[in-house]
A = this chain, B = another copy of it.
Amino acid sequence: MFIKIDEMKSLENLSGQSGVTIMKDLQQVFPDLGNLATKLHKEIYERDVLDLKQQEIITLSILIAQGNTESALKFHINAALHAGLTKEEIFEIILHAAPYTGFPRAINAVYAAHDIFIENGLVK
């Protein structure tokens, strides 16, 4: 039932230590869903048609559009930084999204990103 070591290793490579912590927490609360999420995460992100930066751009764009995804959005803003996207590029994704998602969704995302940038010492 528990996530196999190589899936956790994959998660750490892709999303950093904070990603591992979040998935381990989910796995404790509801192991079957935690396992399924981790397996799919590995399967999707280890594909090689798109690079990791492009993959995180897709994920962030979807989460901005959906709304009500604050914790997933913060997970993936961390993962995007881990993949090498800069603070400026992440903000730019949100600005580009605004005319498509509407500004309320975009403004929510700005503040979620700002929180993560503060946590990572990228803004004062």
Which residues in A have some Cβ–Cβ distance to B below 8 Å? 26, 29-30, 32-33, 36-37, 40-41, 43-44, 47, 49-50, 54-55, 57-59, 61-69, 71-72, 88-89, 91-108, 110-111, 114
Contacts and interface: CB of A to CB of B under 8 A. Distances in A.
A92 B29 contact: no
A36 B55 CA distance: 18
Tallying the copies of this chain within the complex gives 6
Nearest to A94: B33
Given A41-B99, A62-B62, 8 more contacts: A26-B110, A29-B110, A54-B54, A54-B57, A61-B65, A65-B65, A68-B68, A101-B102
Contacts of A102: 62, 66, 99-102
